[in-house]
Structure 1
């Protein structure tokens, strides 16, 4: 019997971890549902009916409206918000506040399976958020291209590109307010300097480099290509995809490495 359980754990361990995380979501399901539904409606209404009335003329190529310009970036930002929350709070919770990772590691589950399962859970959470966001965008008429559906995997990939935050969280042993600093110094400024609510070219040239380095800018530009593009050279689109993949896979690998060292002490 033990060998059967071990065999199943080795094969499906990551999915067991993801299932556990999904079941724990039921304790705050109401908050998640309200946020998932309310955020896209409020943001798209604010930008599409509110701020858009102050933007004279079209801001995108081919007569793209301001709402159509900003909507793909808002979708990507929603995925990043979910990802950053789980990468920072979710990872440290598993190690310290509610050390379920330690308990899981005392079973046949490996550190890699624990991190993989957490990643699966985060992907599912982001997928729910971006799908709802996309549906609301359709209702607001913010998706002029039939290729707009590809904004869903693009948004998820953008959120995954912030996985280095998980590696950072896995290194923390004492909570001394590092997360508020990270949110205010890194995550929040990136939403302002990543060409989300205005084109990156509107920034002074000495600030545009922040956007070029930001995964959120690359994800927003990819989303715009899907929504109403193509508006840029093919090589730049490839750069966006590769850049996001490097961050996503590199952050995941680093998190697995740090988690393995921490759990196997």
Structure 2
């Protein structure tokens, strides 16, 4: 599939060119993320992971301190901030110039990360639904904003996900949200269809099948399928055994127009992009 020619986002005053897809490496500073291999707790573990993400070729490091897996425990804003301060302090010491996004749905947490640690991007799984101040905060901070589609909350999203018309409802959701952000003056908006968030196995593959239709928004598209249940439930395996399935789906997403791959396994995603781009060129 032909890609849009002009896709840039402004990160800390520099244009990040997405005409070639970019890898976002996951840095979890949580004790309970669904994929055990991604949990980084000590400063040594965090530093090692930051080095790995950058060395293997990711353009963005996505740090998160609130596990959004199904049925995850709620974590207070204070605890989330403490974990992020630890993680970001190490990150900035190890890679002071790295482009960093923060995975949070809380406006005050996002503000702290941007103002105190120079975080460049806010990555919100709730698209402002879990904090009514988020959109205004993003506008004030003047940073790129990734908004994801989720039905429900992390605590209940997989209990009874239902859509009368999945694609229509997701598209209407994004159309409304994009307009709200534009009205507030937000310039850089990235869409994430939200694989695995308030969706059945069938919903996830229906979204995947129609991913190229998100081009109608003319906005960068992020996909995060890394080691998720849509892979291991389908194949009867585990997150630990889902790297191959992740690569397959990432390849499909790239062919359908994805601009950012959010992954645990950076090296494999970078190689996937290189192969797809070589075919295109």
The answer, yes or no, to whether TM exceeds 0.5 is: no
Q: Which has the higher contact order (CA 8 A, sep 6+)?
A: 1
| Bigger radius of gyration among the two | 1
Structure having the larger proportion of residues in strand: 2
TM-score (norm 1): 0.26
Structure having the larger proportion of residues in helix: 1
TM-score (norm 2): 0.25
